[in-house]
Each structure stands twice: as structure tokens, then as C-alpha cells.
A and B are shown apart, each in its own frame.
Chain A
Amino acid sequence: AQRVTQPEKLLSVFKGAPVELKCNYSYSGSPELFWYVQYSRQRLQLLLRHISRESIKGFTADLNKGETSFHLKKPFAQEEDSAMYYCALKPSGNTPLVFGKGTRLSVIA
């Protein structure tokens, strides 16, 4: 069965400090991995996906198949990064996303 684990419910960092939001997954095949972000009172929106290998808002995530991880990183946190972050897995094609429980990032000025 596919599963996404985000071990931290809450992560607080100071502005300018590095951020790493952890995500591990379990899936027997080759899934597609995503990070979604939900700012206060806004809808869920895609932050990045592993196949695009791009950096969005300074965030990057590398898929490590050996460790089955897809950690989200940013070298210098900003206050506007405070939000809920969800790691998600899409097994294939038209199948729905499987979400982790989410990590609330709080960036302290």
C-alpha cells in the first residue's frame, strides 16, 4: 500500500535559517512525488514536483529512491513561508494523490 509520512507536525525556525521538511514514502513502483502548500485561508496549491526538478520560491526537493524520501529544503526561510506543507504521492496516471499528514512551518521574525 502507498503511504506518505511527514514526521513533524510543526516546525518552527527563525527567519534566515535553513528549513528542511521531511517526507518519506512507501510504494512498490515508481511514484510521482509532489509538495503542496496551503497558506492561511487559501486553497491548496502545488509547490513543486520531482519530475520538474525546479526551484520554486527558493524551495527544492530531491527524490532519493534509496531512502524513499522527498525532503523539502530552503536555505534561508522567510516569514511568508509560514504555511502548511503537504507531501503527496501519485502512484500513476489518473490515480488520486495520497497525502501525508502535513507539517506546519512557522517562521519567526
Chain B
Amino acid sequence: GAVVSQHPSWVICKSGTSVKIECRSLDFQATTMFWYRQFPKQSLMLMATSNEGSKATYEQGVEKDKFLINHASLTLSTLTVTSAHPEDSSFYICSAHNAGRPSYNEQFFGPGTRLTVL
């Protein structure tokens, strides 16, 4: 149980286009999801916290107009990278918070989406 999926697993796009990444909790409801970014051989950097039915909370330095987050249901959050540029190329990982027992407070991670902007 407690599986998080992401789609697509990888995407290549041209500079200036927008890319949408989906994150789904498959067998539990996630009131909160988190979006991380991971550069090669580096740690995960939190980008934003996504709460179902409300606006996302962005970390300092993350442009909310560039990285649009929508958490319309308890099982789906989307991250849209708008007007993507090569510097946006990265590995994007979502994580869903499962407040249910016995895995109380545990975050479950998706497999990640590798974005390459040409």
C-alpha cells in the first residue's frame, strides 16, 4: 500500500513550451503533497507544498508563476512548468503525506520525472 505514481517518467520539450507532471496517490488519500527538485548528484530541494483545495505554498526562491501547482483532488496534484528553459531541466519528485495509521506522518515518494528542455 501507499504507492505514489508520477507521469510522465521522462519528458523532453523545446524551450518556451509548458510541461505538466502528474502525481497520484494510488491507494490512499493525500491531503498534502510535496514537490521536490533534484539536481544530479545532489539532494532533494523542496519546491512547494500542495494542499488539496487550496493554494500551494512555495519555498523561498521558487517562482509560483513558473511552477504552477494544482491539487484538485485528494489523489492528484499536478506541477506545470510554464515557458520551460534549459535551466529548468531537472528531476522532479513528488511526495504524498499519508496521515493514516500505521504509517502516520510518513511521506511516500513517486519515482520522479526527468525533464529535459532543449
Q: Which residues of A contact B (CB under 8 A)?
A: 32, 36, 42-46, 49, 86, 90, 93-94, 96-102
Contacts and interface: CB of A to CB of B under 8 A. Distances in A.
Contacts, number: 40
Residue of B32, B44, B107 with highest tally of chain A CB at under 10 A = B44
A43 B43 contact: no
B109 A94 contact: no
A42 B46 CA distance: 19
A90 B42 contact: no
Contacts of B107: 90, 96-97
A22 to B, nearest CB: 15
A46 B43 contact: no
A97 B105 CA distance: 10
A43 B111 contact: yes
A32 B106 CA distance: 10
Contact of A43 (B46, B105, B110): B110
